[in-house]
Each structure stands twice: as C-alpha cells, then as structure tokens.
C-alpha cells in the first residue's frame, strides 16, 4: 500500500480517544493505503504507518517535535520543557545526559535492584489470596528505580509517590476527573523532584555521581547555567516515570507466558530465546499508540506534498502490526527475533531510529532488561490464575488485560518449578 487517499470520515479526535490503538489502522485498511490525510483536533493531519514512514518521521530535516505535542500530554505524561519536545542541538545535548546513564553496567544494576525488590515482595504476595500484578509491580519498580537513580524514598511517603508516578502514565490519556488527577500528580511529582534537585545543589544531599539525580542536578543549559529547577525535575521524572510504566509490559510478559506456555518455557531456559520472546511481546502487545510531529520545511514523499507546519502522526502500534513488513502480524512468533536484532525502523514500540541521536526512547534498554528478568521471576513464582477477564482492553490507555492480571498466591513461594 503506497498511495494516500483522503479520509472522508471527518475529524478523528473522538474516534482516536475511543480506540487509540486501532483506529488509525482501520483508516489505513479502509483506504487501502499506508498514508492517510484527515483532521485531528481540527488540524489538517497526515497519518503514516510502516517502516519507510518511520524513516521519514524520524528524519529531523523533515519532521520536528517542538510545538507538536498536545498540551494535555505535555502537562501530564511528559512534563513541560522535557527532552521529548526539543529538536536539533538542544535535543542532542539533553539526550546525551540520558544516554550517559544507560551503560550496560548501569542497566544491569537496575535489573538487579528490581529482582531483589521483586523477591522481597513475593514473600508478602505469598500470604495474600489474590493480587493484581499490574498494581503489585508499581511499588517494586518505584523502590528499585529510586534507589538506582539516587532519589530518596521515605517509607512513609512510598505509597503516595507510587500513586503519583502511576498517574502520570495511567491516567494521562483519560478524560474528565482522571485526567485532572494526572495533572495534579504531575505538579506533585515535579515539586518532589524539584526539592531533591535543590537539596543536591545546596549540599544537603550527595547522591553517587553516576546516578540520574546527580546528573540532572548538575546538567547545564546552553548558556552554561544549571538547568532551571523545574526542567531538571521534569527530566528526572523522565527517568522514574517510564521505569514504573514498565509494569504495563511486564503484565504483557505474564499474559504472553500464559497464552504461549511452550514459547515461555524456551524463553526461561535460554538467554537468546528470552530476548526474542521479549522483543515479540514488545511488537505484539500495545504500549504507546502513536507519536506526533510537524513538518519543518515542505517536502514531497510518495507523490504527496507535506506543507510546512503540517501535523504528522506516526502509528506505532499499527507499524508494529503492518502486514507489509511483518508476516502474519497478528500471530505471536518470537522466532521473528531469533537473531537477537530489531530493525530500528521496523520494531518501534518506543520510537524509531537511533536512541543516541534521535527521538527513540533512551530507556529502551532498561525496559528490555526488566522484561527479561520478569520472564525468569514469573517462571519461578508459584501462582495460579483464577477466572478473570484476560482480554486486552484496547479502549484503555495504556491498554491492559481487563483484570490487570489477577494471581492467586496464598501459601505460594518462589520455587524452581514455575507456575
């Protein structure tokens, strides 16, 4: 599919809010094209899908992010002034700080902290009749990433911090009271982390030099001055929030292990197969639905003119299920990744291109590390699944099984035999 008829369905904003992951794919299939023109939020918008479209979207000479992100997303999920809204040298400089925190040794260290926190939590889970994995994971991930990032987490404040970090990604895409709750949580997270930045600069806190808290406290802006307190806090939150949001992907790991037990057993026994299993989870399951940009300067692609300022949307979920790139895309097949690789413009659940220089998520290695560890931890956890709704709710953002993945764990403990 290469041509691009115009959508005749009017503004798609409400339809996307109702079905954020699948609506764009529906338009592509209906049009018989992988480029469709429509309107979103009353703006003329070009929607793209697929590997070649991702190459276009992540070409900064053509598409930029500054000024493109909708205000509700900036004010909740991402925070005002964060790296996601920058382009050019400003983006590369800010991105370099994130990448400096993501060495293999540092990523492995976070994995070790996560595993230790999981094992401690599993002792408590064993005494409960029923846990919801999605809910249970967030305190575990919060404790692990705060310790890793050099962010003090007082026991009496832990539940509040977990609720606020969760709201940044779990309620950001909602409407009405839940969105307002996410806005409130953003203010509280920014204030909390801003106070930590201030304490570091004043010498009241001294985190290790290789931590995110230390890095963002002393990162300097283009004028040579330290980043404003609020901006540094937003970027520190951009380390904590995505790590806690990995709870979504770990639930999908559990879901895939239940749905495909033979593949899960292979993944638990072999590191290469584990990586392939995790990559297929990231391709197959919904995470972030789409990304938005705007045209920097006019250009032509596939006989279509992209005028300056045009809003452009890349369908991430649809691209990961694009039948032009993936054979039988609705089938779960870890062997797609048997060579351990992932095409940087084909597999794009967290953005495309080069993480070091482009807008691909710098924390992707963390996500893969935590998911791989979760495969072994879930295999070692003694639990059973009660009757529940395990169908993925695509209307929810982020999408999840309807039940959040309930597990009966009473009198269970970590063992060697699996679930």
Known binding-site positions for heme: 361
* Cα-based distances in Å from 7 to 44, 64, 236, 379: 11, 24, 40, 46
3-class SS at 54?
A: helix
Q: Rounded CA gap, 339 and 272, in Å?
A: 8
Closest by CA to 84, choosing from 74, 75, 76, is: 74
Q: Rounded CA gap, 281 and 285, in Å?
A: 6
* Cα-based distances in Å from 412 to 128, 132, 261, 352: 9, 15, 20, 41
**φ, ψ of residue 351 in degrees (nearest 5):** 100, 165
* Cα-based distances in Å from 168 to 135, 137, 186, 335: 15, 16, 6, 34
SS3 letters across 195-221: HHHHHHHCCCCCCCCCCHHHHHHHCEC
3-class SS at 139?
A: helix
The per-residue DSSP string of 151-198 comes to ----GGGHHHHHHHHHHHHHSTT--THHHHHHHHHHHHHHHHHHHHHH
Q: Rounded CA gap, 54 and 52, in Å?
A: 5
Closest by CA to 36, choosing from 349, 44, 20, is: 44
User: Residue 35: which residues within 8 A CB-CB, separation 6 or more?
Assistant: 2, 3, 4, 46, 47, 48, 49, 53, 302, 304
Q: How many CB atoms lie within 10 A of CB 116?
A: 14
Q: Rounded CA gap, 380 and 416, in Å?
A: 5
CB 414 within 8 Å of CB 119: yes
Q: Show the tokens assigned to 333.
A: 């097949």
User: Residue 382: which residues within 8 A CB-CB, separation 6 or more?
Assistant: 126, 409, 412, 413, 414, 415, 417, 419
DSSP 354: -
Q: Which residues pair with 64 in a beta bridge?
A: 294
List binding-site positions.
Answer: 361
């Amino acid at each position: 599919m290469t041509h691009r008829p115009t959508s005749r369905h009017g503004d798609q904003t409400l339809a996307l809010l109702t079905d954020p992951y699948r609506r764009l794919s529906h338009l592509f299939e209906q049009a018989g094209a992988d480029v469709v023109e429509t309107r979103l939020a009353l703006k003329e918008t070009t929607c793209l899908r697929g590997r070649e479209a991702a190459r276009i979207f992540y070409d900064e000479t053509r598409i930029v992010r500054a000024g493109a992100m909708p205000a509700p997303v900036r004010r909740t999920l991402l925070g005002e002034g964060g790296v996601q809204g920058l382009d050019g040298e400003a983006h590369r400089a800010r991105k370099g700080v994130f990448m400096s925190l993501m060495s293999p040794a540092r990523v492995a260290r976070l994995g070790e902290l996560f595993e230790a926190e999981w094992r401690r939590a599993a002792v408590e889970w064993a005494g409960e009749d029923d846990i919801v994995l999605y809910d249970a994971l967030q305190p575990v991930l919060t404790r692990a990433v705060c310790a890793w990032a050099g962010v003090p987490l007082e026991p009496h404040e832990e539940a509040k911090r977990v609720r606020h970090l969760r709201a940044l990604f779990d309620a950001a895409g909602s409407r009405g009271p839940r969105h307002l709750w996410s806005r409130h949580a953003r203010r509280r997270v920014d204030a909390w982390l801003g106070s930590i930045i201030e304490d570091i600069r004043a010498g009241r806190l001294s985190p290790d030099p290789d931590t995110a808290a230390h890095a963002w406290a002393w990162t300097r802006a283009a004028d040579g001055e330290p980043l404003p307190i609020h901006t540094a806090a937003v970027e520190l939150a951009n380390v904590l929030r995505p790590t806690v949001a990995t709870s979504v992907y770990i639930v999908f790991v559990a879901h895939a292990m239940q749905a495909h037990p033979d593949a899960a057993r292979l993944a638990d026994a072999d590191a290469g197969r584990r990586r392939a299993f995790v990559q297929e989870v990231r391709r197959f399951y919904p995470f972030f639905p789409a990304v938005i940009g705007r045209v920097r300067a006019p250009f032509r692609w596939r006989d279509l003119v992209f005028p300056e300022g045009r809003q452009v949307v890349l369908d991430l979920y649809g691209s990961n299920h694009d039948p032009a790139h993936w054979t039988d895309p609705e089938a779960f097949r870890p062997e797609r990744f048997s060579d351990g690789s992932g095409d940087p413009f084909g597999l794009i659940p967290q953005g495309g291109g080069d993480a070091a220089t482009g807008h691909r998520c710098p924390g992707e290695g963390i996500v893969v590390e935590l998911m791989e560890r979760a495969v072994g931890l879930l295999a070692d956890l003694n639990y059973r699944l009660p009757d529940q709704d395990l169908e993925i709710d695509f209307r929810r953002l982020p999408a999840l099984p309807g039940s959040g993945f309930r597990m009966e764990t009473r009198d269970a403990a970590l063992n060697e035999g699996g679930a």
